Amino acid sequence: MNAVETGMLSVLGAVLGLDVVSFPQAMLSRPLVAATLTGALMGAPERGLILGATLECFALETLPVGASRYPEWGSSSVVGGALVALPGVRGAGALLLAVIVTLSWAWVGGWSMVQLRRLNAVWARSRHEAVARGSRSTVIGLQLYGMTADLVRGALMTALGLLLFVPLVQLALPRWSTPEVPTRGILMALAGIVAAGATHKVFHAISGTRWYMLAGLVIGGTLMGVLG
Amino acid sequence: MTATEATLPLQTRVAILLRMLAIQGAWNYETLVGNGIGFCVEPALRRLPGGVGGQPYREALARQSQYFNSHPYTASVAVGALARAELDGVDPAKIERFRTAMCGPLGSVGDRLVWAAWLPLCALSALLVFALGAGALGTVLTFLISYNVGHLALRIWGINVGWRDGLNVAHALGTPVLRHGPVWLARAGTLVAGVALPLVVQRLVGTERSVQVEVLVAVAVGGVLLTRLHGRVEVWKWSLGVLALFALYSVLR
């Protein structure tokens, strides 16, 4: 991957990293969107989509609730999307490695968001008196500082992720020895288990949801048979 | 200015809405979304006597930029109500009490409606569309359009209802959509999940029937076991560990 591609993807990672919390929280940063966009940008939208759909199954378990620490899917999905879209990279091994990289990097990204929130607190504390005086420029400035820092954070996370993982995946893939079918089977079984568990975790408190799930499974199973 | 005289021009509402998209720009562990509330209310405060820089403007902006906690979307209800209260010249002590009282309910309503219902429903719907054979554009647009129609509608409704009712806005949180919406969205979500999961696995695994069956059995068994744990385990982290071990085995053997 050359410097122009790394730069371009870092800009995309910055924008999608910003979307996670700071602006505009339109869920452009969800892996289904971010990985697909990255794949499309690299000329491989279908591979990006397959990765995005797989990652979305994992992401269903991590909801961005309040002050909790959650994975940062925006910039990490750009890194993962870039890995599966690399020229000559094909197969379930590449997909599985991209999933591992994205999940790990999303967790590191979550840590980086915690650091950013601490930095925001330092800035807010140092400007407390100006805010208490009702300074318009300070209130607006704090928002702009925070968003700019988040943008930079996303760009750095993406660039660093690409620098670390592109060579690593290129080194590992030729040595991949497990055949295509079991590799894909293990990955999809785990993705499916996480998605099923997440669905239960999110919705189980609502009465009657198990019956809706069962009805859905009957419809889904029927469609599987029909479609094939 | 009295309650009946206060108006909020469309231009100001649009400015507030655009700023609402950045309400968490300075989110931190001390004032949480407080500075963001001041940032979003600010376009309305310019209409106070004396305009920008006037004493009422500065006092109101300082008040509104203190600690606040809320879901980022439902915070629009508070922003609309606080803008109305400031322009109506409501007693600052009453505004403070309102701010304190609204934090919990707005956070709870937003979390239940958006994070625990609308977002998973939209994601699962997009996965279903993907599983039925949609391409990259169709899948991504299904998710983004469906999610953001609800997202923006909630923000716009919040600003308008907050402005309309001012500090009496609490009853708006009891509307049928907010009260029963999470229940119906959760039911729709589980129905869609039931339909989507086998089909997603089918598309991702590929055409080999025997592998499809093995994977689906593994998902069913794993899913049932997880229901016994009642959400006490973060399964994605365990899965990451398993995948990492499998990758090491595949590369190093």
Residue A156 to chain B, least CA–CA distance (Å): 18
Q: Tokens 């055409």 identify what position?
A: B207
* Residue B228, pLDDT score: 81
Nearest to A136 among B42, B205, B231 (CB): B42
DSSP letter for each residue of A41-99: HTT-HHHHHHHHHHHHHHHTT----TTS----HHHHHHHHHHHHTSTT--HHHHHHHHH
DSSP secondary-structure letter at B113? I
* Residue B4, pLDDT score: 46
Q: Judged by CB atoms within 8 Å, which residues 220-249 of B form the interface with A?
A: 220, 222-223, 226-227, 229-231, 233-237, 239-240, 242-244, 246-247, 249
* Residue A55, pLDDT score: 98
Helices marked H in A127-179: 128-132, 136-172
Low-confidence ranges of chain B (pLDDT < 50): 1-4
Residue B136 to chain A, least CA–CA distance (Å): 6
Q: Mean pLDDT, chain A, as a whole number?
A: 95
* Residue A69, pLDDT score: 86
Q: In the predicted model, is pLDDT for residue A67 greater than 80?
A: no
- Taking 3-state DSSP, the helix, strand and coil percentages for chain B, each rounded to the nearest 5, stand at 75, 0, 20
Nearest to B235 among A23, A40, A61 (CB): A61
Average pLDDT over residues A100-115: 98
Give the lowest-confidence range in A23-37, A159-173, B214-228: B214-228
User: Looking at the complex, does the CB of residue B110 fall below 8 Å from at least one CB of chain A?
Assistant: no
Q: In the predicted model, is pLDDT for residue A127 greater than 60?
A: yes
pLDDT digits (tens, 9 = 90+) for A181-193: 999 999 999 999 9
Q: How far apart are CA B137 and CA B140, in angstroms?
A: 5
Q: Judged by CB atoms within 8 Å, which residues 161-220 of B form the interface with A?
A: 182-183, 186-206, 208, 211, 214-216, 218-220
Average pLDDT over residues A188-216: 93
pLDDT digits (tens, 9 = 90+) for B190-200: 999 999 999 99
Q: Do A176 and B231 touch (CB under 8 A)?
A: no
* Residue A168, pLDDT score: 97
Average pLDDT over residues A84-104: 95
* Residue A125, pLDDT score: 97
This model of the complex carries an ipTM of: 0.96
Nearest to B115 among A63, A198, A213 (CB): A63
What are the C-alpha distances in Å from A197 to residues A162, A208, B113, B230, B236?
31, 17, 20, 9, 10
* Phi, psi dihedrals of residue B68, rounded to the nearest 5°: -155, 145
DSSP secondary-structure letter at B114? I
pTM: 0.95
* Residue B140, pLDDT score: 98
* Residue B5, pLDDT score: 60
* Residue A78, pLDDT score: 98
Q: How far apart are CA B111 and CA B185, in angstroms?
A: 13
